[in-house]
Amino acid sequence: MIQLQNITKKYKTANGELTAVKDVNLSINKGEIFGIIGYSGAGKSTMIRLLNGLEKPTSGTVKVNNQEFSAISGQKLRDARQKVSMIFQHFNLLWSRTVAENIAFPLEIAGVPKAQRDARVKELIALVGLEGRDTAYPSQLSGGQKQRVGIARALANNPEVLLCDEATSALDPETTDAILDLLVDINERLGLTIVLITHEMHVIRKICHRVAVMEAGEVVESGEVLQVFQAPQADITKKFVSQITDTKETQETVAQLKAHYPTGQLIKLVFVGEKTEQPVISQLVKKFDVEVSIVHGNISQTKNGPYGTLIVQVDGSHENVSAALNYLNTVEVQTEVIVNVD
């Protein structure tokens, strides 16, 4: 659905040339939810704007929905944009128009007659769950409702691709989840390809099938979300993964544990996919003469399956503990000794 080949984007600034995107190759499949994660300044905003021609690459080709966005301009580009729509962090609604009029705007641009426009707007308002608010102005809506209007507006012309520019970054956690659920629902019901950029790993974890990690204009890592969670390669990816697993709280807990469990070993187990359902701990206790205490646990659901971490204290004679560790390796659970008390 989307192919980026050797994309480089340079800007001329007062302090010389700035490379926002550096030699990026990416391919996104039809019907998939693809996430691009990076800190601000990593080049992800530029990346997403290359996909609908709001930015043109300095070199390389951008192909979206069989249109070469890097090469077309004028009416052809404007027509192509109607099939690649976008939602924004700050919603970018017209305050001078009501909810219904905002949603009708792209239809007016596409030249849809008034009667059809009204019918379509009604459909869309129902789709995003804003019944009864059609005559409200954006200033009368909450953040989540505004983003729903943004989504309805983006879907008006039945696009093939939906680009989400930090679409949930201005929302509170609960509203974020509701909007993400709506995006998944749209993706499944309409078969829409969704590309989103974010700096929150939580968003990637919750709805993306695949992810690309960007740093300083380059894609440093990409793949299935679960794989990236399981075996992050680049340092920055590890940092993002730890946003979910090692919260500050966890780190504090571990520090306290050191004090509380002076004997034995503290081990972090990482479970991925079906392995989360294996009775690893009870096996451990049955097979080896060790004491196992669970000190911390965490499980997150991703689009490709669950991902969990568990911190346990294993205590017993030295041989028994080593044997237990060896066993853990054989059952394909990632283990990491965090505190070696011996």
Partner 1 sequence: MLTSLFPNVDWEKMWEATYETLYMTSISTVVTFILGLAIGVILFLTSPNQLWANKIVNFLTGSIVNIFRSIPFIVLIILLIPFTKFLLGTIRGANAALPALIIGAAPFYARMVLIALREIDKGVIEAARSMGAKSSTIIWKVLIPESLPALISGITVTAVALVGYTAMAGIIGAGGLGNLAFLDGFQRNRQDVTLMATILILVVVFIIQWIGDTITTKTDKR
Question: Scanning residues 99 to 128, which ones bind partner 1 (CB under 8 A)?
Answer: 105-106, 108-110
Is residue 94 within the footprint of partner 1 (CB under 8 A)?
Answer: yes
Question: Scanning residues 294 to 333, which ones bind partner 1 (CB under 8 A)?
Answer: none
How many CB atoms lie under 10 A from the CB of residue 278? 13
Least gap, CB of 235 to partner 1 (angstroms): 33
Least gap, CB of 78 to partner 1 (angstroms): 4
Least gap, CB of 150 to partner 1 (angstroms): 8
Q: Output the CA torsion sign for 40, 46, 51, 57.
A: negative
Size of the site for partner 1 (CB under 8 A): 29
Instruction: Please give the Cα distance from 252 to 289 (Å, whole number).
Output: 30
Q: Are 318 and 269 in contact (CB under 8 A)?
A: no
What are the angstrom distances between the C-alpha of 201 and each of 37, 145, 181? 7, 23, 16
Least gap, CB of 52 to partner 1 (angstroms): 6
Question: Scanning residues 241 to 270, which ones bind partner 1 (CB under 8 A)?
Answer: none
Task: Pick between residue 81 and residue 117 the one whose CB is nearest to partner 1.
Answer: 81
Per-residue binding letters, 145-174, with partner 1 (x by CB under 8 A): --------x---x-----x-----------
Is residue 15 within the footprint of partner 1 (CB under 8 A)?
Answer: no
Task: Pick between residue 165 and residue 221 the one whose CB is nearest to partner 1.
Answer: 165
Instruction: Please give the Cα distance from 275 to 331 (Å, whole number).
Output: 9
Type of residue found at 339? V
Task: Pick between residue 5 and residue 92 the one whose CB is nearest to partner 1.
Answer: 92
Q: Which of 60, 61, 137, 298 binds partner 1 (CB under 8 A)?
A: 137
Is residue 237 within the footprint of partner 1 (CB under 8 A)?
Answer: no
Question: Scanning residues 50 to 79, which ones bind partner 1 (CB under 8 A)?
Answer: 52, 54, 77-79
User: Rule CB under 8 A: which residues touch partner 1?
Assistant: 52, 54, 77-82, 85-86, 88, 90, 92-97, 105-106, 108-110, 137-139, 153, 157, 163
